[in-house]
Structures are given as C-alpha cells and as structure tokens.
C-alpha cells in the first residue's frame, strides 16, 4: 500500500472528518431500494435544493451518476453523444458508456482549457444530410474540466451552448463532479450553472470531502426513471444512509472552504513554475489542480517525476501527459511547502 506524507494524487483521497464520522455513526437508515432510507432522502432533497432541480438521486460513484444520466437521455445504440475528448465521459468512461448503453461519441476538440464553444456544438449538431444516419441525443459538458487542468467554464458559455442545443432539440448534461470548485472560483452559484442544463451530476466524494457518493439531479420524472436505471446498474445500496450522512456534512461544510484549496494550488503552481521554468503558467491554475509539463522543461517523463516526488513522500499522478497535483481538505499550508521542497530536490537531480 502506498503511503505519502503529502498526498496530492487527487481530491478523492480525503479521509472523513470527525463530524462526518460522528454523523455516520449516528445515521438513521432504511433500505434505499425501497426509497425509505431517511438520510439518503435528506441528502437527495438537499442536493435538489442546492442545484435548483426538482429531484436528485444518490449513487455510489461519479461514473455511475454520469452513466445513469447518459442512459436517461440516450434513445438507443447507434446514436451519438457530443463531448470534448478529454472529458471524463468520453475518456475514462468511454468503455462504461459503450458497455452499459451502446453509446458512441462525436468528440469536439475544445480549446486548451477543455472548453467547447456554442459554434462548435452547432456544427456538431448539424444534420448529416443527405445520408441521414447520424443522430445526436445529448451534449455533455464538464465543469471544472478535470483532465484539462481543473478549468472553469463560464456560465455565459453554458447559456450559449444550451441555446444551440435547444434549437436542435438536443438535451444537455453537465458532469459537475467539481461544480462546487467552479462555483467557488467564478462566484457563480451552482444553481445558475444547473439552470442551463437538463441534468447534472456532482460528487460529494471529491473536493467536498465525503468518503463516497455522487448525486444526479434533474426533473422529478427524470429521477424516477433514473432510479430505475440505478437499480438496473446494481446501485440499489440498501442502508446507504451510513455514507449519505457524511455526504450531508460535506454538502453543508465543503463549499465554504474550497477557496482555501484553490489558494494552496495557486501557491504550489507559482512555486513549481519558478523551480521548473516552462513547466506551467501559474495563471492556468484556476481551482484545485496543478498540471506541470515536465517532458520539455525537465526532459523527464511525468511518470519519472511522479516517482521521484514519491521518493520524497509526495503523491502526484499522471494525467493528460502531465504531472497532476490536486489540493484538498487534508492538505494544509505546510504540506504545500513540503511538496515545493520535493520539487526543488527533484529538479536539482
């Protein structure tokens, strides 16, 4: 088992806080298949209130949340979903989508921050006359974009994409695994982003700090069908109130402190840019992620750098061909300084 003094591999590595553990120990539970787990129901109600959607569905993972939403909008194998190639649904989840729903993607390359424009979406939704075989059921957006640097998509861009999709009669889903990070960085309420999409999902298990779980949000009718798909996908998780209790604490307390993660990522990004000139532009650090390009600047592969950082007790991962470090609730200022010292040591060879 790997153990790090400072674990920056992801914001999913956090341990539940004392308040979460207490809430979990005391959680009122029931059988979630029957819909009678009161703690799950409370979390779903809070998620719906927070996003401004009619209803929400608590599920074990972000992948399951996305896959339920995709299936909801998807009318059958042979149809297409429009997404950016770096997006989680079109990269990590590409096989899940193929296996579970027979989904194929029409990928649209966004800018270097992973953002696709309304004009690109319009072009992707144009009917394929005269052949008449390509049908797009859904446009999927991601905010923040995890593989493109934790970057934030503006709410105006959401509005523009939504308008184009609406004109074409196509639904929009938001992978908002880290939508609260986007909201903390932009000052735009999560509900404002949610208003521009038909469905969204967000994770309580990432920046918000809960151990397990994600929420799919949408209309009451969508969530009724979503519940059926959740059960089909094996997600009827019985006394899930034990973990939903931590999700409630995460939803209450997590959003208020995300700006601290962003500040620490900013400090780390500035330091790495100084230690390894050319590895990153500090202004690219918009939320809790720092991506360093080490191939050109250090003549070391990202895996080599991650392994060397590990020798110094610092966990980093390799994403999109770069070294990725993610700040989270278990990272304090001194941990950032430890990580910076490790980068200095690695750069010094």
Ligand X SMILES: Cc1ncc(COP(=O)(O)O)c(C=O)c1O
Q: Which residues form the interface with ligand X (CB under 6 A)?
A: 61-63, 66, 88, 142, 146, 175, 177, 203, 205, 214
Q: How far is the CB of 201 from ligand X (least distance, A)?
A: 8
φ and ψ at 152, to 5 degrees? -105, 135
State the first-to-last Cα distance of the chain, in angstroms, to the nearest integer. Answer: 26
Structure-block tokens of residue 105: 């993607």
Element of type H or E holding 154: none
- For ligand X, which is the closer residue by CB, 196 or 271? 196
Q: How far is the CB of 302 from ligand X (least distance, A)?
A: 18
Other Cβ atoms closer than 10 A to 168: 15
- Nearest residue to the partner ligand X, using Cβ: 62
Q: How far is the CB of 210 from ligand X (least distance, A)?
A: 11
- For ligand X, which is the closer residue by CB, 39 or 181? 181
- For ligand X, which is the closer residue by CB, 29 or 212? 212
Whole-number Å distance between alpha carbons of 136 and 334 = 49
DSSP of 111-151 = -TTSPPPHHHHHHHHS--TTT----EEEEEEESSBTTTTSB
- For ligand X, which is the closer residue by CB, 62 or 302? 62
- For ligand X, which is the closer residue by CB, 162 or 173? 173
- For ligand X, which is the closer residue by CB, 66 or 294? 66
DSSP 8-class letter at 318:
E
Q: How far is the CB of 126 from ligand X (least distance, A)?
A: 27
Whole-number Å distance between alpha carbons of 50 and 172 = 19
Q: How far is the CB of 113 from ligand X (least distance, A)?
A: 14
Q: How far is the CB of 68 from ligand X (least distance, A)?
A: 12
Contact criterion met (CB below 8 Å) for 86 and 319: no
Whole-number Å distance between alpha carbons of 98 and 117 = 25
């Amino acid at each position: 088992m790997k153990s790090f003094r400072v674990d920056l591999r992801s914001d999913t590595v956090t341990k539940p806080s004392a308040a979460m553990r207490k809430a979990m120990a005391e959680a009122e539970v029931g059988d979630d298949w029957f819909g009678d787990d009161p703690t799950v129901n409370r979390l779903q109600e809070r998620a719906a209130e927070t996003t401004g959607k009619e209803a929400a569905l608590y599920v074990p993972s972000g992948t399951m949340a996305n896959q339920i939403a995709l299936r909801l909008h998807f009318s059958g194998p042979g149809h297409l979903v429009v997404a950016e190639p770096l997006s989680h649904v079109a990269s990590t989840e590409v096989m899940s989508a193929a296996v579970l729903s027979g989904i194929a993607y029409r990928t649209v390359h966004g800018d270097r921050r992973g953002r696709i424009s309304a004009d690109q979406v319009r072009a992707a939704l144009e009917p394929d006359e005269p052949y008449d075989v390509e049908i797009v059921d859904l446009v999927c957006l991601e905010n923040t974009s995890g593989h493109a640097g934790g970057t934030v998509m503006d709410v105006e861009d959401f509005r523009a994409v939504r308008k184009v999709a609406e004109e074409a009669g196509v639904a929009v889903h938001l992978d908002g695994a880290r939508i609260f990070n986007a909201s903390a960085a932009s000052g735009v309420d999560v509900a404002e982003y949610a208003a521009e999409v038909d469905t969204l999902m967000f994770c309580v298990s990432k920046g918000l700090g809960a151990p397990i779980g994600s929420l799919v949000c949408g209309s009451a009718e969508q969530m009724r069908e979503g519940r059926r798909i959740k059960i089909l996908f094996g997600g009827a998780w019985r006394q899930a109130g034990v973990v939903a209790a931590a999700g409630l604490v995460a939803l209450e307390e997590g959003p208020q402190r995300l700006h601290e993660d962003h500040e620490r990522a900013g400090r780390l990004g500035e330091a790495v840019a100084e230690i390894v000139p050319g590895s990153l532009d500090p202004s690219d650090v918009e939320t809790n992620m720092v991506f360093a390009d080490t191939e050109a600047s250090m003549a070391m592969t990202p895996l080599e750098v991650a392994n060397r950082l590990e020798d110094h007790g610092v966990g980093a991962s390799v994403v999109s061909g770069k070294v990725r470090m993610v700040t989270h609730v278990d990272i304090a200022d001194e941990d950032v300084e430890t990580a910076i010292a490790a980068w200095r040591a690695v750069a010094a060879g």
